[in-house]
Amino acid sequence: MTDVIGIRFKNMGKMYYFAAAGHTFKKGDHAIVETSRGVECGEVVMENRRLDDTAFPQPLKPVIRVATPEDVKHAEELAVREKKALALCEERVAAHKLEMSLIGAECSFDNSKILFYFTAEGRVDFRNLVKDLAGLFHARIELRQVGVRDEAKMLGGLGICGRPLCCAQFLSDFQPVSIKMAKEQGLSLNPTKISGSCGRLMCCLKYEQDVYSSLLKVTPKQGALVNTPEGRGTVTEVALLSGTLKVRLEKSPDSPPTTFSRDDVKTIKDGHTKIEKAELDELAGLE
């Protein structure tokens, strides 16, 4: 068992574990720690907690010290410097006529490095830009290309639900989302209705997928052959959450489908969740 705390280095970023090293922290405190990018000042989002050593990656780095008011002030000054650095970098990108879009900047706590995030359609030769920026800022320069999901997370905005983007509010990691999830949840496969501001499938498709997956295991799918109290038939429509099925009975194929509860039918041969090729072609690039 190890006494650990959870630290986050930017809003809605991933939480990292560090050994408390005898220090006691509360949520909202700041701590100085060593990371792969060097010494950083992070905010404590998980107070001291004793966890089994298998609950986090090994080896676990210890906290260097509790952040002083001067450290916190320096971190705030870095935030101002990052905005200025981003504006200057945008000017140099335009001067070099590079096809790239800057979305953010991060300065290391010791002022030795500045990291710029950007998006681009393809590969960008930014070697001359790096030399230009190194002379301008007198620091080591790194440029990192990110995807459209990361761009949305960093820039923020409103989703089609009218609320702030989940990725910018509380999601620390992106979960895999597939077109099959939308199909299984009975959603329209209209790209404008199931894609987010980033142009990819909405992250919220993942939220209820476990419930739908468990219900699909006990509910016949559309096209399934089933036995009902009124005879054998084929499922024509499924209301997964309410557990009701519409079945076209073999004894009266020309009559409207009859509604049954899933508890009252027995599956003879189940159907499949099918996604037509035309639908896949239309939704290409959303995953």
Matching residue, tokens 């971190």: 75
DSSP strand pairing (16-19 vs 2-8): antiparallel
pLDDT score for 127: 92
60 in any annotated domain? yes
Mark the ranges of the chain whose per-residue pLDDT is less than 70.
11-12
Last residue of a domain, one of 19, 37, 67: 67
DSSP readout, the chain? -EEEEEEESSTT---EEEE-TT----TT-EEEEEETTEEEEEEEEEEEEEE-GGGS-SSPPBEEEEPPHHHHHHHHHHHHHHHHHHHHHHHHHHHHT---EEEEEEE-TTSSEEEEEEE-SS----HHHHHHHHHHHSSEEEEEE--HHHHHHHH--B-TTSSBPHHHHT-SSPPP--HHHHHHTT----HHHHB-TTSSB-GGGGTTHHHHHHHHHHSPPTT-EEEETTEEEEEEEEETTTTEEEEEETT-TTSPPEEEEGGG-EEEE-------HHHHHHTTT--
pLDDT score for 35: 86
pLDDT score for 215: 93
pLDDT score for 88: 95
Share of the chain above pLDDT 90, in %: 64
163 in any annotated domain? no
State how far the Cα of 287 lies from the Cα of 285, in Å rounded to an integer: 6
- Is residue 219 a contact partner of residue 238, using CB atoms and an 8 Å limit? yes
CA-wise closest residue to 116 among 106, 125, 126: 106
Q: In terms of domains, do 9 and 59 share one?
A: yes
pLDDT score for 89: 96
Residue 70 structure tokens: 């001067």
CA-wise closest residue to 33 among 71, 61, 8: 61
Last residue of a domain, one of 48, 67, 86: 67
Q: Hey, what amino acid is at 156?
A: G
Residue 221 structure tokens: 């799918």
- pLDDT of 94-140, one tens digit each? 999 999 999 999 999 988 899 999 999 888 999 999 999 999 999 99
Q: In terms of domains, do 98 and 117 share one?
A: yes
pLDDT score for 12: 61
pTM of the model: 0.76
Full residue range of the structural domain in which residue 11 is found: 2-67
Last residue of a domain, one of 130, 146, 162: 146
The CB density around residue 265, as the number of other CB atoms within 10 Å, is: 20
Q: In terms of domains, do 78 and 139 share one?
A: yes
128 in any annotated domain? yes
94 in any annotated domain? yes
Task: Round to the nearest angstrom and report the end-to-end CA distance of the chain.
Answer: 40
286 in any annotated domain? no
- Is residue 140 a contact partner of residue 112, using CB atoms and an 8 Å limit? yes
- Count the domains in the chain: 3
CATH code for position 246: 2.30.30.30
